[in-house]
Structure 1
């Protein structure tokens, strides 16, 4: 009996391994043609909007980098030289923020709830042959219809919790550029007027510059320091986002004793309960997709897509947005698989504890 319990626990631990979770999610998605087609059609609106959003984001990042580089190289005169650049950058920042806040978040929420519902139905369905396309659509709509409001509340809670992390990323980047700009890239001078003991005034001029090796060492130390903070924030964000994503899944799939959905802080608390002891695996799963998303965008920013022809820019943006949407589908299917394994493990452990308690009571 003990050996059987140990074998079961070892099997469940193996199922929760992040590589196994990714394999099972990929197999579930690409092993069911009806699920794949349905999720592809559901992701089309998000795909189309993301192309426009990414083009706007590329322009914003390009102008922001020009502005920051201008600060570094023209510290004494950037107020004069970069007025025009600043006037263009601020409206773009506001536009990109508003695009992310309303259309993107809403489309992403609808797409996420659909992916979670459909993959859950297929994952837990023991029917042979597999569900037909019409059946899958009908059951998904029935499941999502009464859960959108709860998912929206949970999503707003997640947005509220994640905002400080995004501000942390922004602060690290801004602080690094500010410190580097203070040391300048060459000699600088400053002047002031002082009063002598007789009441007269005289003019002093100081020329000051960092020694090049000292400056290079200082910049390297600052880069390593801020990079370390950035990586810590990235790891924390990935770990927390695993619980937040499971909270969204709880809002879609579960309901309370009163028959109403579980959402908001209750959903996040329940997801934390399910994922307790498996934070490392959740972190690993989220890191895989976060790094994948960043890696897809980096070539465009590094090779300055904004300076290429419009057709080439749109074509490459469409290509990597398509890959991001595919990664998003696999991510949420993986989250569903991970959620189901964690939930099953918790419920079985709870059942074993109840059986053990009853056995002790009978023995007494």
Structure 2
């Protein structure tokens, strides 16, 4: 296994397949690394259980809530659910402001603060240890991993970088519903309702590609903060520099993990895992492992981009020196 790891690490000009292959090799070559990431991800795992259950319930209820809004229907009573209890007629009218909006705010707060912080802690530890496993041939013991995993100054600096990333990411995520609502409003004015789904799909698809491409840059900035000690705006600038010429690979890498996460959630919603049972535990367990693999792949992607950029700079310097040496002397 170690010889195979060395062979993959030395592979230059890696495509997405080689990055994912190396990620799997690094993750599974050391059982202590698997156990360590499992233990350090437990707080994130349990909070994610609650968040994902509430999120899937909200996704399922969203069409019913939206369809009951007064400005989207001509006959509000049509969307009301009616039940008879003890000869009393009860009309349950879905309320956006009282039922739906508080849940959305709760999801936003959980995602922005505690979930982000717990994911940040497991992410930093994962990236630091995976970098050591890449550069070292010796297997680390579980004790060594716990002793070498925490650096307070590095954690604080990287957390600043993660706040920049979180802000930029949330701003772009807000653009998705804003784009859809504007498309609907614009084309409904002209009565072109049939064009709304087509235009929305094109606009959201283009916006999604931009989001994934930028996500690769933002994620690399966190890797830079962990490995190179550059924080905040400086990390974003360095990440932008190293990712130039490699952004298609970064987009494809993020697309792989994005599609996997979406498909897994759709399967769980289809089988109603959010109602309880072992399904939701299995889903969050898989998502936690995939999240670890994503950050290991980001470390590998960063190392490859950095090596490519430094080799390109070295080649330019050699070419410049060669031209100067061949230039005619006066």
TM-score of the two chains, using structure 1 as the length reference: 0.75
Asked if residue 98 in structure 1 is aligned to residue 114 in structure 2, the reply is no
Where do 1:72-91 residues align within 5 Å?
75-78=73-76, 82=93, 84-91=95-102
Q: Which has the larger radius of gyration?
A: 1
Q: Contact between 2:209 and 2:251, CA under 8 Å: does it hold in 1?
A: yes
Q: Contact between 1:67 and 1:86, CA under 8 Å: does it hold in 2?
A: no
1:341 to 304, 312, 317: 304
> Displacement, 1:28?
0.7
Query: What is aligned with 2:90?
Result: none
Asked if residue 39 in structure 1 is aligned to residue 48 in structure 2, the reply is no
> Displacement, 1:362?
6.5
1:165 to 163, 169, 172: 172
Asked if residue 288 in structure 1 is aligned to residue 253 in structure 2, the reply is no
5+ residue gaps in structure 2? Answer: 1-9, 81-92
Query: What is aligned with 1:69?
Result: 67
**1:53–1:233 Cα change, 3 Å:** same
5+ residue gaps in structure 1? Answer: 1-9, 184-214, 255-260
Residues 244-283 of structure 1, C-alpha deviations (whole Å, 9 max, x = no match): 00000001110xxxxxx31111101101111110100111
Residues 311-341 of structure 1, C-alpha deviations (whole Å, 9 max, x = no match): 33xx222111111111111111111111111
Query: What is aligned with 1:146?
Result: 153
Three-state SS of the structure 2 residue aligned to 1:140 is: coil
1:232 to 199, 202, 206: 206
> Displacement, 1:290?
0.5
**Structure 2 CA distance for aligned equivalents of residues 345 and 87 of structure 1:** 54
**1:29–1:338 Cα change, 3 Å:** same
**Structure 1 CA distance for aligned equivalents of residues 269 and 21 of structure 2:** 31
What is the root-mean-square deviation of aligned Cα atoms in Å? 2.9
Q: Contact between 1:58 and 1:301, CA under 8 Å: does it hold in 2?
A: yes
Where do 1:311-322 residues align within 5 Å?
311-312=276-277, 315-322=278-285
Asked if residue 120 in structure 1 is aligned to residue 131 in structure 2, the reply is yes
**Structure 1 CA distance for aligned equivalents of residues 64 and 223 of structure 2:** 41
TM-score of the two chains, using structure 2 as the length reference: 0.82
Report the number of matched residues.
Answer: 304
Query: What is aligned with 2:224?
Result: 250
> Displacement, 1:88?
1.0
